Amino acid sequence: MQRDGEILFEGYGLGRTPEARFTSWSMAKSVTSILLGIALDLGMVRSIDDVAADYVPGLEGTLHGGTRLRHLLNMSSGAEVDHARDPVRIDVPALLGTPNARATGTDLELVVRRWNDRGDPARTRFNYNELCPLTIGMVLRAASRTSLSAFAEEHLWRPIGAEGDATWLCDSRGKEYNCVGFAARLRDWGRLGRLVAQRGRLGDRQVVSSAYIDSCANWGPEDRQVAFGVARPDTGHRNFFWHPRADGQWLVMNGHLGQRLAVDLASRTAMVRTAVSNDGAWSRDFFALFEAAIRA
């Protein structure tokens, strides 16, 4: 836990050390969002109201290619996909592979191109899934003309002064599985939290614009389907960040098995939790502890 770069508490369990990297699972989606914000600042991506095929010609004529980046960021592409049902149709061919098909390799971009089943018009409904962030990853690679790893190292990891290397899971073609595949040290996750808490600025450097961070904390007319209480009864979503409060002042990176990073914009406080299980009352306790720390 930290505020304005001052560490208020740091602790490790289960044999972990400050040098250990932990897999963040879906917190990687929020890292992808920050990278897109940087690409917008650099002019590599013109607008989140462009469609993905404007940057990735291979997506021309596909469902995801015709979807605006805004709706991909908001998990509102309209694709007929079920997060609980479809890992075998996404994770296996895109990343994991199967024992009887090792020779064919894995290809996340092929999975995105071939997924053309539509359930709703874009912008209609929040539908959490892996295909939206994977498409944004394709846009970032095309717009930057490099890998996500290289782009992140130059424009994010070095500028925040990260202590250790981060890693990405990749498919057999070396493309980063950016919906879940990012791992880093606890202190470096803390640096990412501080970056968001200080609206994109660390020291004398604006790593990502305050305008982009602010956009992650607000809902406009095009984002109503992901507003607090609409996306889910007790939660909002925007640009791959979760919102457990209606005022948008808490931005949360959320990952499987209890991985979580919460930011309070008002007090510029950030808290990271590594975990190994969803069991128990940890979710409620996490936010209770976070709120108590903010008020202290």
Residue 74 lies in a domain: yes
Higher pLDDT, 126 or 278: 126
Contact at 8 Å (CB) between 272 and 193? yes
In angstroms, rounded to a whole number, what is the distance separating the alpha carbons of residues 138 and 55?
Answer: 9
Contact at 8 Å (CB) between 210 and 194? no
pLDDT of 158 over the 80 cut: yes
Residue 259 lies in a domain: no
In angstroms, rounded to a whole number, what is the distance separating the alpha carbons of residues 39 and 279?
Answer: 37
Q: pLDDT tens, 119-129?
A: 999 999 999 99
The pTM score is 0.96
| Range 146-164 average pLDDT | 98
User: pLDDT band for position 196 (50/70/90)?
Assistant: very high
Task: Note the pLDDT of residue 258.
Answer: 83
Q: pLDDT tens, 18-71?
A: 999 988 899 999 999 999 999 999 999 999 999 999 999 999 999 999 999 999
Task: Note the pLDDT of residue 102.
Answer: 62
Task: Note the pLDDT of residue 275.
Answer: 80
User: pLDDT band for position 101 (50/70/90)?
Assistant: low
Residue 281 lies in a domain: no
Residue 271 lies in a domain: no
CATH number at residue 30: 3.40.710.10
In angstroms, rounded to a whole number, what is the distance separating the alpha carbons of residues 246 and 170?
Answer: 36
Letter string b/e over residues 202-211, b meaning 16 or more CB atoms within 10 A of that residue's CB = beeeebbbee
| Range 175-183 average pLDDT | 97
Domain of 175 in residue numbering reads as 20-222
Residue 31 lies in a domain: yes
Count the domains in the chain: 1
Residue 43 lies in a domain: yes
Residue 36 lies in a domain: yes
Two structure tokens written together for 253: 């990176």
pLDDT of 104 over the 90 cut: no
Contact at 8 Å (CB) between 152 and 194? no
| Burial of residue 102, with CB atoms counted within 10 A of its CB: 0-12 exposed, 13-18 middle, 19 or more buried | exposed
